[in-house]
Structure 1
Amino acid sequence: MRILIIEDEPLATQKLEALLMSIDPKNEIVGRLESVKETIAWLDANNSPDLAFVDVQLTDQNSFEIFRKRQTQFPIIFTTAYDKYILESFEYNTLDYLLKPIQEPRLRKALEKIETLESHFFQNKLGQFLKPSSGKTAKERFIVKRGIDYLSIQAKEVAYFFSEHKIVFLKDKKGNNFIMDRTLRELESDLDQKYFFRANRKYIVNISAIHKFKSDHGKVQLELIPEAQEDILVSKENAPAFRKWIAG
């Protein structure tokens, strides 16, 4: 596996590299970078790695700046001594999040996850799994993240999708929340429009999750099951389309 290490502490880089080689001597370290600026230059001049280990706090900036400035498709494992960045890391192609000091059993489990995902979900590289779907056929299941694990949820089990702090969640009919690596806009093209409706900029709802609805000064207010943590309003502009959709 071609691995890129983005880390501003030389000792941490050396330890991680030693662990990676002890787990699999065939691993190849294709780059050792210490800053956002250096990493962007490297990405512009080289082929993408198969995997990147990325320290959150680098010498010049927060490493999230790399992925805001350059669109990447390779999977990322963030490393840091702090857990406060976990939610923000999921805005990118995050495969895992390792707290320092990195221990071999935890690292081995993260690498095994890549092998598992490759064998179950891909025909080529893991990056293909991370790309938004370009097909127009409605998807029957979605890949979600819970903790360090990835799960497959059937579309019929989805109550609704919603965004919060720039993170998209899937809520199933049992009330469980799962993190997704897709935007709501990307999800719209994958959903069966007969059953799912974009209620507003924050919610896409399954018709089976709508317990009841009522008019609210030209808008439509939805009551969902499981209950949402805020009022769900369909705008005046979209209210006619909603009524037509829910009437079948």
Structure 2
Amino acid sequence: MTILIVEDEEATARKLRRLVQEVEPDATVAGMTVSVDESVEWLQTHPKPDLILMDIELADGQSFEIFNRMPVTSPVIFVTAYDEYAIKAFKVNSIDYLLKPVKEDDLRSALMKLRRMKEAFLEQPDGLNTSLATLLRKLAASSSTEEPPTPTEPAYRDRFLVKQGQRLFSVPLSDVAYIFTRNKLSFLKTRDEHEWMIDYTMDELSTLLDPNRFFRLNRQVIAELRAIDKVNLYFNGKLKVSLRPVFEEEVIVSREKAGEFRIWLGE
């Protein structure tokens, strides 16, 4: 088995390499990369690894960007510092994930799970890649080459499940004014000024929300049309947006997105 380790923390990368050698003595760590750019270059210039151990937060962005830039068919085990609640969305159809600091037993269990999956798909060579592709579509941001949803899947979400204590309930999108990030977590802001945490990244949400109703103003905020209170010209062709309910931070639309935003508003 050949393994690529994608990890920007040197100490964690060394530990992963040591654990791989202890848990899977016959495995070969074929490469170790620290960024999105380096990982893409490595995958384009080397034979496909049998497995990728991949951190989510890298030096130059989230590792999901790798899948936007090129097709990745190797099974992936994500390594993350997120707590379990924040990464529940990644568990659907995933190969596995490991929480930092990675433990030997966790890695051994993940490799055993991969082995069982390969055995299950032994008579269907494309089966494992199909399962992985399903995961990657859920994790990666939307791209022009992404396959459209199947007829059995709704095109866009109309509600989100949120948690309050031990209670779960749905928040209709008609109640949502905007969605924003704080400390790498995503939150719904409703028109009555409630905030609810949801287990989706902003890139995922960009593919789940109706673009006629929602616009991604910048990396931090996705707003519903009725939440746009004021739009003012800003320097260098940028736009400054005021939201309602009021958003605590300044919301700036870049010069590159300003034209698209103005068209979306009805120009």
Deviation per CA, 1:71-121, whole angstroms, max 9, x where unpaired? 211111111111365255468x83111110001111110000011111122
Q: Helix, strand or coil for the counterpart of 2:95?
A: strand
Distance 2:91 2:101 in 1: 21
**2:95 maps to amino acid:** L
Aligned to 1:104: 104
Q: Helix, strand or coil for the counterpart of 1:29?
A: strand
Deviation per CA, 1:180-234, whole angstroms, max 9, x where unpaired? xx97734x5xxxxxxxxx485259xxxxxxxxxxxxxxxxxxxxxxxx9879xxx
Distance 1:229 1:199 in 2: 19
**2:6 maps to amino acid:** I
TM-score, with normalisation over the residues of structure 1?
Answer: 0.52
The alpha-carbon distance between structure 1 residues 33 and 201, as it changes in their structure 2 partners (threshold 3 A), is: same
**1:122 maps to amino acid:** L
Superposition map of 1:108-187 within 5 A: 108-123=108-123, 128-131=127-130, 185-186=149-150
Structure 1 unmatched ranges of 5 or more: 133-143, 146-165, 168-181, 189-197, 204-227, 232-248
- Structure 2 contact 57–63 (Cα < 8 Å) conserved: yes
Distance 2:45 2:86 in 1: 28
Distance 1:199 1:112 in 2: 32
Distance 1:79 1:25 in 2: 20
Q: CA RMSD in A?
A: 3.4
Aligned to 1:62: 62
2:81 is the alignment partner of 1:77? no
Distance 1:24 1:35 in 2: 25
Structure 2 unmatched ranges of 5 or more: 140-145, 158-169, 174-267
TM-superposed deviation, 1:9: 1.2
2:87 is the alignment partner of 1:86? yes
Distance 1:200 1:105 in 2: 39
Superposition map of 1:10-89 within 5 A: 10-83=10-83, 86-87=87-88, 89=90
Distance 1:32 1:55 in 2: 11
The alpha-carbon distance between structure 1 residues 115 and 37, as it changes in their structure 2 partners (threshold 3 A), is: same
TM-score, with normalisation over the residues of structure 2?
Answer: 0.49
TM-superposed deviation, 1:53: 0.5
Q: Helix, strand or coil for the counterpart of 1:47?
A: coil
Distance 1:199 1:38 in 2: 35
Deviation per CA, 1:20-56, whole angstroms, max 9, x where unpaired? 1111211011110001010111111112111100111
Distance 1:124 1:29 in 2: 27
- Structure 1 contact 64–89 (Cα < 8 Å) conserved: no
1:201 to 126, 132, 155: 155
